[in-house]
């Protein structure tokens, strides 16, 4: 070991904690699976914008590369070194990956309208707020420890990122931008489906990452069934509402089951998970087809990836389902409200700051910033 501490907080995290080998093994595995979800899942899902593929993937790389170390630096200031020591194992990586996931959701709404370096700025401002919200919900300081049920972050990861985004977009959409059609192509949509599939298959690891070892089989089966339910509902409602299937519905709304089941993934029986998934998929398709145009008019901005439909509404739905299961629904409701208020408020502020720093010349196009092949 090098004795000199280059970055003191970071240097704590590799030390062996008081967890078992089995726990570390499960967590190691899931930390890799979630990395797949971040870089390949979120990254390629955003490649659906035909001329903006390089930017989408590069932004994903940068956001992950920024937010993981940044979160690791911030967390000990909030949780204290005692807490730091008890998590001095691979769980720190999992927490940091969750922060990156929430940030990727947050930039999904403004995708294509700011410069790549501005995503980094959003990341620098978002990550501390995300960490603060997590600390408010789970540290026992504001809400009693264990009173807020959100095992896999329906509220604290998904809804938080989505509502942060929904408010940023009002600051980050010009009139000209809101009139541009976001172009897709077969190729770009097939890459998006690949990203979607990577999210689908590794979602059980996202949902069971912090679940105790004995509950992991339950959480994994619940997640798969919720995704199955959402996938079936997506297909049916996409045809019913649109006449033909929109493949963007399949790529996105199929995942809504994973978003919604997060809060209660270790607390319901599998039959209920299938039902939660069916409802979440339905909510999400209705969101993409019916609610999004109205919401965009309401907030005066474009939600490029439709994060409100995939992470916003299904996340809140999941957090509210937990109301039926917790000892004190008031605390559960309080946690949802705190998260939504904090994210909305900070989304506006961050959007405002970023909007003052110039804008992308050609929206939804790589050409300003990347060297392109002929």
Residues in 171-190 at the binding interface with its own copies, rule: CB under 8 A: 183-187, 189-190
Cβ atoms of 52 and 364 within 8 Å: the answer is yes
Contact (Cβ atoms closer than 8 angstroms) between residue 270 and residue 228? no
Q: Which of 80, 140, 144, 217 binds its own copies (CB under 8 A)?
A: 217
From CA 146, how far away is CA 144, in angstroms rounded?
6
Q: How far apart are CA 153 and CA 162, in angstroms?
A: 12
Closest CA to 343 of 189, 129, 140: 129
Q: Among positive and negative, which fits the CA dihedral 352, 56, 261, 252? A: positive
136 in Cβ contact with 338 (< 8 Å): yes
Verify binding: residue 210, its own copies, rule CB under 8 A: no
Print the binding letters for residues 40-59 with its own copies: x by CB under 8 A, - otherwise.
x--xx--x--x--xx--xx-
User: Taking the complex as a whole, how short is the minimal distance between the CB of residue 300 and its own copies, in angstroms?
Assistant: 26
| Residue 321, number of CB atoms within 10 A of its CB | 23
The reply to whether 322 sits near its own copies by the rule CB under 8 A is: no
Q: CB of 59: closest distance to its own copies in angstroms?
A: 10
Asked whether position 295 contacts its own copies by CB under 8 A, the answer is no
Mask for 220-259, x = binds its own copies (CB under 8 A): xxx-xx-xxx-xx--x------x-xxxx--x---x-----
Query: Would you say the C-alpha torsion 338, 107, 318, 98 has a positive or negative sign?
Result: negative
Which is nearer to its own copies, 92 or 283 (by Cβ)? 92
What is the footprint of its own copies within residues 74-133 (CB under 8 A)?
89-90, 92-93, 116
* Angle made by CA atoms 342, 123, 24, in degrees to the nearest 5: 90
C-beta of 69 vs 128, nearer to its own copies: 69
First-to-last C-alpha distance (Å) of the chain: 49
Interface with its own copies (CB under 8 A), residue total: 103
- Among residues 152 and 346, whose Cβ is nearest to its own copies? 152
Q: Which stretch binds its own copies (CB under 8 A): 124-132, 219-227, 289-297, 338-346?
A: 219-227
| Shortest Å distance, C-beta 68 to its own copies | 5
Query: Cβ–Cβ contacts within 10 Å for residue 353, how many?
Result: 15
Between 215 and 359, name the residue whose CB sits nearer to its own copies.
215
Is residue 291 at the binding interface for its own copies, with CB under 8 A as the rule? no
Buried/exposed code over 262-276 (b: 16+ C-beta within 10 A; e: otherwise): bbbbbbbeeebbbeb
Stretch that binds its own copies, among 105-113, 129-137, 163-171, 208-216 (CB under 8 A): 208-216
Instruction: Determine which residue in the list 218, 299, 307, 326 makes contact with its own copies, applying CB under 8 A.
Output: 218
Contact (CB, 8 A) for 110 and 165: yes
């Amino acid at each position: 070991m090098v004795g000199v501490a280059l970055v003191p907080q970071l240097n704590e995290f590799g030390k062996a904690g008081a967890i078992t080998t089995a726990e570390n093994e499960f967590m190691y595995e899931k930390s890799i699976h979630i990395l797949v979800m971040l870089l390949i899942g979120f990254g390629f899902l955003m490649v659906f914008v035909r001329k903006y593929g390089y930017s989408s993937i590069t932004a994903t790389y940068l956001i992950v590369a920024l937010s993981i170390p940044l979160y690791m630096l911030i967390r000990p200031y909030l949780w204290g070194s005692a807490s730091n020591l008890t998590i001095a194992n691979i769980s720190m990586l999992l927490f940091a990956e969750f922060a990156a996931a929430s940030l990727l959701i947050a930039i999904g709404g403004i995708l294509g309208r700011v410069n790549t370096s501005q995503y980094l700025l959003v990341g620098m401002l978002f990550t501390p707020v995300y960490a603060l919200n997590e600390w408010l919900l789970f540290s026992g300081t504001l809400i009693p420890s264990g009173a807020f049920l959100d095992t896999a972050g329906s509220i604290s990861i998904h809804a938080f990122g989505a509502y942060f985004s929904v408010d940023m977009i009002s600051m980050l959409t010009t009139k000209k931008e809101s009139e541009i059609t976001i172009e897709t192509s077969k190729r770009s949509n097939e890459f998006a489906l690949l990203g979607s599939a990577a999210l689908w298959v590794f979602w059980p690891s996202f949902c069971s990452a912090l679940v105790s070892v004995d509950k992991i089989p339950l959480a994994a089966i619940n997640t798969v069934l919720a995704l199955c339910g959402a996938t079936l509902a997506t297909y049916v409602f996409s045809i019913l509402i649109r006449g033909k299937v929109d493949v963007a519905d399949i790529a996105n709304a199929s995942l809504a089951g994973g978003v919604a089941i997060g809060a209660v993934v270790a607390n319901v029986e599998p039959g209920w998970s299938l039902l939660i998934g069916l409802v979440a998929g339905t909510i999400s398709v209705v969101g993409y087809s019916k609610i999004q145009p109205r919401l965009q008019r309401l907030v005066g901005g474009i939600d490029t990836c439709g994060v409100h439909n995939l992470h916003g509404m299904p996340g809140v739905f999941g957090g509210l389902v937990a109301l039926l299961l917790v000892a004190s629904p008031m605390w559960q409701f309080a946690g949802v409200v705190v998260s939504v208020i904090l994210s909305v408020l900070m989304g506006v502020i961050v959007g405002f700051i970023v909007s003052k720093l110039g804008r992308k010349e050609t929206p939804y196009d790589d050409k300003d910033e990347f060297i392109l092949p002929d």
